[in-house]
Structure 1
Amino acid sequence: MSASDSRPSIAIIGGGPSGLCLGVLLHKHGVPFTLYELRDKPDDSTLLTPSGMLDLHQESGLAAIRACGLWEDFQKHILDCSEELIVMNKHARVTHRDSGGSGPQSRPEIARNTLTHLLLESIPAESIRWECKLLSASRTSTNRISLDFGAKGILEHDFVVGADGAWSKIRNLITTVQPYYGGNQYLTLDILNATTRYPALSTLVGTGSCFILGSKKGVVSHRGVQDSIRLYVGVSTEDETPFCAPSADLEAGSLKRALVDSSDLFGTWSEQVKDLISTAVDETLVTANATQLSEPKPLYMLPIGHTWEAQPGVAIIGDAAHLMMPWAGEGVNLALWDSLDLANTIIQSWDKAEDAAEFQQIVTPLVSEFDKKMFERSKRAAEETWKNSKMLFSDDGAQAMADMMAAFQQMAS
């Protein structure tokens, strides 16, 4: 066996922000790996497709971007959505407005698709295998990790990082805990070229993020690529059944009327807000060349504060490790922070180990230390997220959020 053959074989499962960030950091330090992603390789056209906006925080997401050596390129892609925040109630009365922070308080927004492309450009093409859906993972008799990709084959690696999201197959090697419904669900809609085509709606939601809250419901928007307004129409409900299920029996016009006419949904809200929803439904159908909308997406979470014992040959990061709802803006930031810390753990072990066996001896206790730090910060974020979900989707979420923002500003002053 050659020296190169005896070095540990490392795999990353999942090509979201955490998996890609980890790949960039390992590549920068000369640690080879294979990243498996179930989707097709994205092309340049995806940069023009609206996607969720991600506000990155200084100590986590932005620290990872800097460590990847991508800070200057990152700065070129944060103009689509400003840091402006508007909060209003269901009658379109503004309860809070600010223009965002500066310096350490700055949280620039970047489109998820743009962040993906930015990270992909720093990873060698030969290190990524696309269209590889992981069906299951198991441990072999020689303590390697076996990955079953169905028709793409069964492959073995010495160390596998699960960055494979909410329904992670790698997590099953560590814990039996699974996600559960968090009590919120939302419908995603998009309006393109909003400033010129719908100036009144553009003015309503502003240049950054807008939260329109009340009666345990919310309409949350972000500005994005193609001068878009991405709209999340959300409802708090204990029933996981979609609150407005599209079907062949409910054509788009009827569904729109159900959203804006029903007193159980948004029928009692401001005409401006109902116009925003109606327009977004129409525009989404035209853009997608579709006759019906996708179903609302239920939001899932892992138990707050759940932990596990580190196992040889495997680690999990991002949503695979600490899935939570988006109501504190911490998900992608924690994921990138995980990638930064785990990369340092892997690099340190790689530099000290002569072969796969020695790598395992070194890396396992270091992963345990990594896990403990991750548990601590993700628990805090999950607690904040859960608290915020109850606040935002309360009877008067707009005033509750305004009070929270005022308290934050007072602490920062």
Structure 2
Amino acid sequence: MNSVAPTQARISVIGAGPGGLTCARVLQRRGIAVTVHDRAPSADARDQGGTLDLHADNGQIALREAGLLDEFFTLARPEGQEMRQMDPTGTMTSHKVPAADELFKPEIDRGRLRDLLLASLRPGTVRWGQALDTISGPADGPRRLRFADGTTTEADLVIGADGAFSRVRRAVSPAKPRYTGVSFLEAWFSDVENRHPDIAELVGPGGAHAADGDRGLFAQRNGGDHIRVYVIQRVPVDWISRSGLTADDTDGIRALLLDEYAHWSPRMRRMITDNDGPYVDRPILALPVPHTWDHNPTVTLLGDAAHLMPPLGVGVNLAMLDATELALALADSATVDDAIRTYERTMLPRSTETARLLEGGAEHLLSADVPDFGDDDARP
């Protein structure tokens, strides 16, 4: 079968995260039809995660191409660029305060970014409650998508924007995410100015990090008077069950953590003891480096589906840049096959270079030096 023109193609994006939605938005702005399928039953079915920083040299480029950059700046928090580095006693050892007009990587809550992108799409673009089960059909198309609810559809192009455990990835690559040896345990704090004023003062308007070489804490201000704290440890992936606990045993996990952080100051340990609700276990995963695949004329990947890396401030930014470049390649190419080749010719070397730089980078999260925690992509 000859590859079809993008304007005539049936394009299915799998995953309604920032990457998938950015791709759909840029395609629609260029007059190309697209459908997005997402496993969640609705847009507000689950928490979207913490705050993100969108960089001027990738994430903001994507939003400019999507026609949403000005709206982004009205929602973003430039003050979130502030970073505090502390030692385990809570003494501040460095303090980066952004200039009044600095907009290189302002923060935005992941949910607000997603809402911005969703609102920009034509009604009915996203089909909720469609978890991809299988992709079948010849490599040159059309591809047949079967969803867990029993429905099917045909596509001339399948774009995998479905994250770390991508179902689309299986059509082009056998690679699976691997545990890096470092894990986050997420804790939430709400109404912090009233209920947790000491933690609010400690963290400030941006982020605060402390580590002793073996364990760390990173706290980050979110919108809506929330703070998320990530307890960072070098532990087995099943450390909770190995300790005889379950993920919902908040008191048991807290006691274990207090023992691990016993030499940290009481003020710092309040980020372990005073959280609202249970902890969330988030082991840090990464794809093998390099992760590439043989060209496929009807399937490609973007974001974490293509290049899952440690959460060092690049994940969503790269996903949105991937999405934009793929959409533009489709708008400017004679065929879908040509567009995929053009896109992957740039994306694969870039992602390989970045992944090599960040390989083993999860260990930096335990360093007393300030890492770039600009992206909440540790969420599996």
Fold-level match, TM-score > 0.5?
yes
1:397-412 alignment to 2 at 5 Å? 397-398=367-368, 400-401=369-370
Aligned length: 368
1:332 & 1:240 partners in 2: Cα distance? 24
The residue number in structure 1 matching 2:120 is 122
What is the Cα deviation at residue 248 of structure 1? Answer: 6.3
The counterpart of 2:294, out of the listed 296, 303, 309, is 309
What is the Cα deviation at residue 392 of structure 1? Answer: 2.9
The residue number in structure 2 matching 1:335 is 319
Could you tell me whether the CA contact under 8 Å between 2:188 and 2:228 is conserved in 1?
yes
1:389-400 alignment to 2 at 5 Å? 389-393=362-366, 397-398=367-368, 400=369
The residue number in structure 1 matching 2:265 is 270
Residues 265-296 of structure 1: per-residue CA shift (max 9 Å, x gap): 2121111111121011xx1x2xxxxxxx3552
- Amino acid in structure 2 at the alignment position of 1:296: D
Structure 2 gaps of 5+ residues are 374-380
Residues 153-182 of structure 1: per-residue CA shift (max 9 Å, x gap): 122111111101111111111111111111
What is the Cα deviation at residue 95 of structure 1? Answer: 2.1
The residue number in structure 2 matching 1:32 is 33
The residue number in structure 2 matching 1:13 is 14
What is the Cα deviation at residue 40 of structure 1? Answer: 2.3
The residue number in structure 2 matching 1:382 is 355
What is the Cα deviation at residue 380 of structure 1? Answer: 2.8
Could you tell me whether the CA contact under 8 Å between 1:171 and 1:316 is conserved in 2?
yes
> Identity of aligned pairs, percent?
28
1:10 & 1:249 partners in 2: Cα distance? 39
Inter-CA distance 390–250: structure 2 relative to 1 (3 Å threshold): closer
2:56 & 2:77 partners in 1: Cα distance? 18
Inter-CA distance 248–311: structure 2 relative to 1 (3 Å threshold): closer
Could you tell me whether the CA contact under 8 Å between 1:242 and 1:298 is conserved in 2?
no
Max Rg structure? 1
Could you tell me whether the CA contact under 8 Å between 2:187 and 2:280 is conserved in 1?
no
Residue 149 of structure 2: SS of its match in structure 1? helix
What is the Cα deviation at residue 152 of structure 1? Answer: 3.6
The counterpart of 1:296, out of the listed 261, 272, 281, is 281
Inter-CA distance 231–198: structure 2 relative to 1 (3 Å threshold): same
Could you tell me whether the CA contact under 8 Å between 2:131 and 2:149 is conserved in 1?
no
Residue 135 of structure 1: SS of its match in structure 2? strand
Residue 131 of structure 1: SS of its match in structure 2? coil
Could you tell me whether the CA contact under 8 Å between 2:240 and 2:253 is conserved in 1?
no
1:205-220 alignment to 2 at 5 Å? 205-220=203-218
- Amino acid in structure 2 at the alignment position of 1:369: T
Structure 1 gaps of 5+ residues are 286-292, 353-361, 406-413
Inter-CA distance 93–294: structure 2 relative to 1 (3 Å threshold): closer
2:117 & 2:162 partners in 1: Cα distance? 17
Inter-CA distance 273–14: structure 2 relative to 1 (3 Å threshold): same
The alignment's C-alpha RMSD in Å is 2.7
- Amino acid in structure 1 at the alignment position of 2:158: V
The counterpart of 2:225, out of the listed 212, 221, 227, is 227
2:195 & 2:264 partners in 1: Cα distance? 23
The residue number in structure 1 matching 2:310 is 325
